[in-house]
Structure 1
Amino acid sequence: MLKTAFLTLLTLAIAIVGGAGSVWYLLDSRQGVDAYRIGPWTAFPDIGTAEADPYSAARVAREGILALGRAEGLSFVAERDSAGGELRRECAYAIDGGFPTARFWTLYGADASLDVIRTGKERPAALHSREVVYRTDDTVLIAADHSPRPGNWLMLEGSGKLYFVLTFYDTPIASSTGLSDVMLPTIKKTGCHA
């Protein structure tokens, strides 16, 4: 009888710890049931809709974020560069390429909670579509670094994990068919500070 009670308690403990651990992993992971990947960028197109999977809905509720609906826009998050390396705040990156059609887009460097990195200066680590310099072929080269760079510069400070958040507002790619042929910029590490 004691053996049966012990096995029952052990089974319950494994089930509770395993279940809670798997839910915690899915809520913290940038991979998910509805994740859509384009190169290093990941989006959850259904996150602001009634069709969102339960984990996405729980992530929105837990983090207190205001998710965009399909008619409003779509956010992409990158936690790795195009070569698969983890993004770090002490490194420099070149974000290079074209951006899909959108009325407006923003790009910012973020911490682990996806909040914009506060630099302690007047400007945060953020850029938007109306302040960047475009090439003649409508592509953009953005240098993300601690030190100022000519052209488009996204200021980074500190050390630790880094995320880039790219949000498109009022864009056709937010529709279910619009994601099939989207090209997003690449992220290449150009060096690291000691």
Structure 2
Amino acid sequence: MLRTALLTLLALAVAIGGGAASVWYALGSEESIGATAVGTWLTYPDLGTVNADPYSRAKVAREGALVLGRAEGLRFVAQRDAAGEPLVRQCRYTVEGTIPPARIWTLHAAERGGAPVPPARALNAQIVTYLPGGSLAATVGARAAPGNWLATSGSGPMALVLTLYDSPVAVSTGVSDIQLPRIAKVGCDG
């Protein structure tokens, strides 16, 4: 009798502990359920819709994030450069390529939790200088650079967040077929 009770408690402990651990992993992982990768950029196209999976909804609730509906726009997050290395604030990067069509877009640096990296400025469709052919070339880093410069400060991990507002990409089904700018490391300080 005691043996049956102990085995039952052990089975419950393993089930509850394993379930809690899997949820913790799913909510904290860089690329979780429902993510679509476009190069080094990740997006969750169903996040603001009724089709969002329970893990994505829980992640949004835990972070207190405001998500865009599919008709409103799409948010892409890159935590790694083109070589697959994590983005860090003490390094300089170039972001080069075309931006998909959108009424307006923004690009900013964020901490892993989502808070903007100081000095909390963003590049957007209205203030950048485009290259011939309509592509974008921007420098991300603490040192001022000519042309389009996205300032960062401090040290530690960061992410780049590209948000497309009122974009046909958001309502299309081929999100993974679009081209997004490439992020390349130029060098690091210290």
Q: Same fold (TM over 0.5)?
A: yes
SS across alignment from 1:15: helix
Partner of 1:12: 12
Partner of 2:137: 141
Cα distance in 2 for partners of 1:83, 1:170 equals 31
Cα distance in 2 for partners of 1:59, 1:176 equals 24
Aligned CA RMSD, in angstroms, stands at 1.4
Residue 90 of structure 1: how far off its partner (Å): 1.2
SS across alignment from 2:164: strand
SS across alignment from 2:10: helix
Cα distance in 1 for partners of 2:150, 2:123 equals 7
Cα distance in 2 for partners of 1:103, 1:22 equals 39
The size of the alignment, in residue pairs, is: 190
Partner of 1:33: 33
Does the Cα contact within 8 Å between 1:172 and 1:178 map onto a contact in 2? no
SS across alignment from 1:174: helix
Partner of 2:178: 182
Does the Cα contact within 8 Å between 1:92 and 1:146 map onto a contact in 2? yes
1:100 equivalent in alignment to 2:100: yes
Amino acid at match of 2:108: Y
1:46 equivalent in alignment to 2:46: yes
Residue deviations 1:13-63 (CA, integer Å, cap 9, x gap): 222222111111111223222211110000000100011111111112111
Residue 7 of structure 1: how far off its partner (Å): 2.9
Partner of 1:116: 116
Does the Cα contact within 8 Å between 2:105 and 2:124 map onto a contact in 1? yes
Does the Cα contact within 8 Å between 2:38 and 2:176 map onto a contact in 1? no
Cα distance in 1 for partners of 2:13, 2:177 equals 47
Partner of 1:57: 57
Identical aligned pairs, as a percentage? 51
Q: What TM-score results when the alignment is normalised by the length of structure 1?
A: 0.92
Cα distance in 2 for partners of 1:5, 1:87 equals 51
Q: What TM-score results when the alignment is normalised by the length of structure 2?
A: 0.94
Q: Which runs of 5+ in 2 are unaligned?
A: none
Residue 158 of structure 1: how far off its partner (Å): 0.9
Partner of 2:156: 160
Amino acid at match of 1:24: W
Amino acid at match of 1:84: G
1:130 equivalent in alignment to 2:126: yes
Q: Which runs of 5+ in 1 are unaligned?
A: none
Match of 1:173 among 164, 169, 177: 169
